Amino acid sequence: MVHHKTRPSRKELMLQVAIRLIANNGIDGLTIDALAVSTNSTKGGVQYHFPSKDKLFIETLEYLLAKYDRAVSKQAEKQKGAGGWLRAYIELSTAKISPEDRVAGAMLAILTSDDPRAEPFRRFTTRWRELSVADGVDPAIAMVVRLAADSMWTERVFGGATAKESRMVRERLLQLIDEAAR
């Protein structure tokens, strides 16, 4: 059976361009006007999908987090036994930092806990917390491992940890999962 890739929707294409705008121009570079120009759209065409700059920000963050979530789920399908989701999460959280990771980091860095634009982050971290503690290993170990992976991702995004340090932490976290899954 042949599977054809579906073309991204106009909205998805706009989200991809929004990510490039942030990557190239910083958070302040993400505006309705800049997105309209970059996508050969009218301002009204952009506002059809994103009625405000906040909505554009929220949906761009949502898009990035959902993409990461799908990647973890796909990687987890390849894992066997208890701790499979956590192994996938560790692998992706400690992998080479991508331009999209840097954009997500920049977006998260400007949010405060009471900022309504943080809702996608709150929703996904709740999901990831629930998946980690239900992954067949000691829930406390699962939480520690997930939080350590999150911290390593943050350090890598902001230039703190080296690739060598990330590999060292990844190996130790994977070892903890293996020990906890026995």
The pTM is what? 0.91
Of 6-10, 45-49, 104-108, 137-141, the poorest mean pLDDT is in: 6-10
Cα–Cα distance list, 142 to 8, 42, 82, 83, 110 (Å): 35, 47, 11, 8, 28
Confidence at residue 36, expressed as pLDDT on a 0 to 100 scale: 97
Question: Per residue in 31-80, pLDDT tens?
Answer: 999 999 999 999 999 999 999 999 999 999 999 999 999 999 999 999 88
Write down the domain spans for the chain.
10-181
Helix axes 99-109, 139-157, angle to 10 degrees: 100
Measured over the CA atoms of residue 121, residue 97, residue 130 and residue 72, the dihedral's sign is: positive
Q: What is the chain's Cα-based Rg?
A: 18
Domain 10-181 has CATH 1.10.357.10: yes
